[in-house]
Amino acid sequence: MFSRQDQAEYRELMAGIELRTRVYGERTLMAEYRLSKGSRLPEHSHPHEQTGYVVTGRLRLHAGDEVFDAGPGDCWCIAGNVSHWADVIDDCIAVEVFSPVREDFLPEVS
């Protein structure tokens, strides 16, 4: 699967949090987030391992008992079933890869 920058559109997950799925295969899915300053991705957990990095902006990640202030180029890996959330410090673009595939992030088929 290949994807050009302009092929996928963002969809709003909640106020200030937008997602677009870039590519996916049998075992992984790559998603891009557009996060607005002051928004919060609420605390949650899921069975998927997720690795990610900040492209632009800044956010504060909370995973289990750890807190990590992430800026451009900073990366993370959060194990499956670990409670986590994020506070968006500045407008931010972040990219994350999930394994296994998050079926709730697959594009809707028309």
pTM as predicted = 0.90
**Alpha-carbon torsion (44, 50, 51, 52), positive or negative:** negative
CA distance linking residue 2 with residue 105, whole number of Å? 17
Sketch out the chain's domains with CATH numbers: 12-98 (2.60.120.10)
CA distance linking residue 2 with residue 18, whole number of Å? 21
With contact defined as beta carbons under 8 Å apart, do 41 and 95 qualify?
no
Give mean pLDDT, residues 69-95.
97
Residue 56's SS3 state is: strand
Q: What percent of the chain has pLDDT over 70?
A: 98
Q: What is the pLDDT of residue 2?
A: 80
| DSSP string for 19-48 | EEEEEE-SS-EEEEEEE-TT-EEEEE--S-
